[in-house]
Amino acid sequence: MTSVLSQFPLSYAVRWECRRYGSASAVNEPNPTSRPATPRVRLHLKPGQKGTKQLLAQYGDRLICVRYRYDVQRKKRLKTVELLVAERDWQPRRRFADDQIVGLRVDFADVAVRAQVKQAGGRWNPERRVWQLRYDRVVALGLTGRIADESASTPRCPAPRRASPYRCLDDI
């Protein structure tokens, strides 16, 4: 059986790797035809599906997926596999420090959650339209899914102050 990689020209292999890792486009050669130079993926199969049984028997739990690629220029179908080669423990980095103030999205009609946030010391920020509360208290309440995208204590682009219709005209 001949190696599939030996059939590709070197520029094709370099172009393929560059596309995978998003490196500079200077390596890519112009394509004389309007068709894509890389084979198109038409089928993406998970282990155990039809078309993966032999590979699943061969690679076992290391098999992640099987892809069928079709190269129109060469009129070839390529079967590729994605394998798990290493595994180790990993702890995700915490998004916020415990004492950092974060913004929480709480619907107006969600009275119970709003009462919990108030009880924990949360304050309403009318400019950002979020409740502000320390991150450790948000975790304790189980409301991490409601955290607004940016932290409340260090806004990247502070919103301009708008005149409130409820303030006295003398204050403006």
CB 51 within 8 A of CB 80: no
The band of 13, judged by pLDDT with boundaries at 50, 70 and 90, is: very low
Judged by phi (left if over 0) then psi (alpha if -120 to 50, else beta), residue 114 lies in: alpha
pLDDT, tens digit (0-9, with 9 covering 90-100), for 122-168 = 999 999 999 999 999 999 999 988 998 764 444 444 445 555 555 44
Q: Is the pLDDT of residue 107 over 70?
A: yes
Read off the pTM.
0.40
Which residue has better confidence, 37 or 131? 131
pLDDT in tens, 49-66: 998 999 999 999 999 999
Q: Which residues contact 157 (CB under 8 A, 6 or more apart)?
A: none
